[in-house]
């Protein structure tokens, strides 16, 4: 009796960036996993196997976007400025196969419980999803009543978020911040998760001073503290580069164009001795993009998209002449390492079959997540439940 594995497919002649350049390889997937990679794999002994010849098209890991407002953000100009929930098609058409959701300014009319429901919905619809507990303010809004319990007990919660150096934060004290980060760390130990703390960075001249205070007065490892939006101001970015050279991770926002766009930020950081292994890129997708004047008055608002991820990758390769295998790392392998996802961010035997097929010009042709095609010819062929 012949036994066939679900989703058994053999991809022939792929130019594989894993993200290391592996050259032209065949790879076999089954049950949502990559089960074999080799220069030549024979399908004759694989009953029921679909064979797909990629004719040396570029194949790379799916993007891991660790900063997305899955249930919307905003609200800085009243309820009508709350951004809507994200749709599955918007994520996958941008090459995102794994996502981490979080809350922003509004931790009052939006709740971690609703965010948890959305992460489960996206998992059901075809991609991998996690979340951070908390929001801008401290004490953190949580599901169980404490940060450590959320991280330790809820499968989808991998850390916590808050805001610092921003006029929309709750102006937390150093002791509060250290306690929050320590709770996330311990919750991560108990739940076998990363236990990370993500810090939304604003434009305040204080910059990374609150993180420095945590490191001086608490025993949380620097590798568990992630400042994000670090390319939003020149002085902040200078501090962020120093933070990364000391062993911390920094998250660069692809939807920020001024004063430093994401591709330029990465190229600058590399010249200044920051290793690729300490830089990640996220979109801040579906979050609001408010504009404030010098007195803190809102003068405009928009919504961040997801297309900036691919655009940043293209700029790194075409404008800054970074080899593709290096340009891919902040979107894939480095993010996976920071988040503790051993099965994500790379194309290797035993990893999830999350991958993007790119054209020669680095445009998205197909996106596969957990072994299933979600994008064909650049457009979603699988939609969310209510799309």
pLDDT digits (tens, 9 = 90+) for 252-281: 999 999 999 999 999 999 999 999 999 999
Active-site residues: which are they? 284
From the CB of residue 293, how many other CB atoms can be counted at a distance below 10 Å? 9
- Which pLDDT value is given to residue 94? 98
* pTM tops 0.75, yes or no: yes
Strands 58-61 and 50-53, sheet pairing: unpaired
Of 59, 17, 64, nearest in space to 335 by CA? 64
Give the largest Cα separation in the chain, rounded: 75
Question: Is residue 71 helix, strand or coil?
Answer: coil
Percent over 90 (pLDDT), the chain: 86
Tell me the chain's radius of gyration from C-alpha atoms.
21
- Does residue 19 have a cis peptide bond before it, meaning omega lies within 30 degrees of 0? yes
Query: HEC profile for 6-29?
Result: CCCEEEEEEEEECCCEEEEEEEEE
pLDDT of 26-47, one tens digit each? 999 999 999 999 999 999 889 8
Confidence bin at 4 (pLDDT 50/70/90):
low
Q: How far apart (Å, rounded) are the C-alpha atoms in residues 253 and 8?
A: 37
Q: How far apart (Å, rounded) are the C-alpha atoms in residues 135 and 145?
A: 14
pLDDT at 194 over 50: yes
pLDDT of 51-107, one tens digit each? 999 999 999 999 999 999 999 987 777 888 888 899 999 999 999 999 999 999 999
Q: How far apart (Å, rounded) are the C-alpha atoms in residues 270 and 283?
A: 20
- Which pLDDT value is given to residue 122? 98
- Which pLDDT value is given to residue 1? 40
Query: HEC profile for 181-212?
Result: HHHHHHHHHHHCCCCEEEEEECCCCCCCHHHH
Mean pLDDT of 296-305: 77
Angle at 127 between CA 338 and CA 348, to 5 degrees: 55
């Amino acid at each position: 009796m012949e036994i066939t594995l679900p989703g058994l497919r053999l991809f022939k002649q792929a130019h594989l960036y894993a993200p290391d350049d592996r050259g032209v390889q065949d790879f076999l997937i089954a049950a949502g996993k990559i089960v074999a990679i080799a220069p030549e794999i024979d399908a004759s002994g694989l009953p029921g196997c679909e064979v797909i010849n990629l004719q040396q098209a570029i194949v790379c890991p799916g993007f891991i976007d660790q900063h997305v407002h899955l249930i919307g953000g905003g609200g800085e100009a009243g309820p009508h400025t709350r951004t809507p929930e994200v749709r599955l098609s918007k994520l996958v058409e941008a090459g995102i196969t794994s996502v981490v959701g979080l809350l922003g300014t509004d931790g009052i009319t939006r709740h971690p419980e609703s965010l948890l429901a959305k992460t489960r919905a996206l998992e059901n619809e075809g991609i991998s999803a996690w979340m951070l507990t908390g929001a801008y303010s401290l004490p953190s809004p949580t599901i169980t009543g404490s940060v450590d319990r959320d991280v330790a007990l809820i499968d989808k919660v991998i850390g916590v978020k808050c805001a610092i150096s921003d006029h929309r934060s709750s102006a937390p004290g150093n002791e509060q911040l250290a306690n929050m980060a320590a709770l996330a760390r311990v919750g991560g130990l108990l739940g076998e998760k990363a236990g990370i703390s993500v810090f939304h960075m604003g434009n305040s001249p204080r910059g990374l001073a609150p993180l420095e205070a945590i490191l001086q007065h608490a025993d949380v490892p620097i590798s568990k503290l992630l400042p994000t939006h670090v390319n939003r101001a020149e002085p902040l970015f200078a501090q962020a580069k120093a933070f990364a050279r000391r062993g911390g991770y920094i998250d660069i926002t692809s939807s920020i164009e001024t004063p430093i766009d994401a591709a330029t930020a990465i190229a600058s950081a590399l010249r200044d001795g920051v290793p690729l292994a300490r830089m990640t890129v996220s979109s801040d997708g579906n979050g609001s993009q408010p504009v404030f004047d010098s007195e803190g008055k809102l003068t405009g608002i928009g919504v961040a998209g997801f297309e900036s991820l691919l655009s940043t990758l293209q700029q790194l390769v075409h404008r800054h002449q970074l080899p593709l295998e290096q340009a891919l790392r902040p979107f894939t392998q480095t993010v996976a390492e920071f988040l503790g996802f051993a099965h994500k961010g790379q194309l290797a035997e035993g990893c999830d079959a999350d991958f993007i097929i790119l054209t020669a010009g680095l445009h998205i042709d197909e996106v596969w997540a957990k072994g299933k095609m979600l994008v064909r010819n650049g457009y979603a062929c699988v939609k969310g439940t209510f799309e």
